Amino acid sequence: EAEVAQSPRYKITEKSQAVAFWCDPISGHATLYWYRQILGQGPELLVQFQDESVVDDSQLPKDRFSAERLKGVDSTLKIQPAELGDSAMYLCASRVTSLGDNEQFFGPGTRLTVL
């Protein structure tokens, strides 16, 4: 069964360091999302890609976060420098397209702890 892959599954870093997360969506899924989920809250959208283009990054803290999906397939989310408040689960999700109603499939997530 096709799945969204993410790595690493867990990351511990010190504040001011750089971290990067990787996501490989389900093959053929044009839309890719990065969410941040703080404990006890729902997922919050950070960035949405349609193929290689960013269509929504309004909630992405652009002073420290960046995201890319160069070939419209896999994607990387980077944080530099990391801050204590960035500790959260980072979820990647994909769907066939954002232009119609269809299910989002989530990856297993990356649990980030910033010390």
Residues 60-89 that bind another protein (CB under 8 A): 89
Cα 87–chain centre separation: 14
Q: Is residue 41 close enough to count as binding another protein by CB under 8 A?
A: yes
* Cα atoms in the Cβ-side hemisphere of radius 13 Å centred on 78: 11
φ/ψ region of 40 (left if φ > 0, alpha if ψ in -120 to 50, else beta) reads left
Least distance in Å: CB of 81 to another protein? 26
Report the length, in residues, of the chain: 115
Of the residues 34, 46, 48, 75, which one makes contact with another protein according to CB under 8 A: 48
Q: Is residue 104 close enough to count as binding another protein by CB under 8 A?
A: yes
Contact range with another protein by CB under 8 A, out of 17-25, 64-72, 80-88, 99-107: 99-107
